[in-house]
Amino acid sequence: MAYKIGDDCISCGTCAANCPVEAISQGEAHYEIDPEKCVECGACAANCPVSAIAAP
């Protein structure tokens, strides 16, 4: 199960910049993680300035 980005996301792009497999892109309301690409490394959650990313 992939990490999830919640509604607290401020669309800063830090998560996408730190994703080693480019699984994160800008969505309609905020950034989103493609579960097919996510390798559950945790880099996105570790770098999110507002803790908007939840572990699987």
Per the structure, the count of domains in the chain is 1
Intra-chain end-to-end CA distance of the chain, in Å:
5
| Domain extent at residue 48 | 4-54
Which residues in the chain show pLDDT less than 50? none
**pTM exceeds 0.85:** yes
Percent of the chain's residues with pLDDT above 90: 96
The predicted-structure confidence for 21-36, as pLDDT tens digits, reads as follows 999 999 999 999 999 9
How far apart (Å, rounded) are the C-alpha atoms in residues 11 and 39?
21
User: Residue 56: its pLDDT value, please?
Assistant: 85
User: Which regions of the chain does DSSP assign to beta strands (E)?
Assistant: 4-5, 24-26, 31-33, 53-54
Q: What is the CATH number of the domain that holds 36?
A: 3.30.70.20
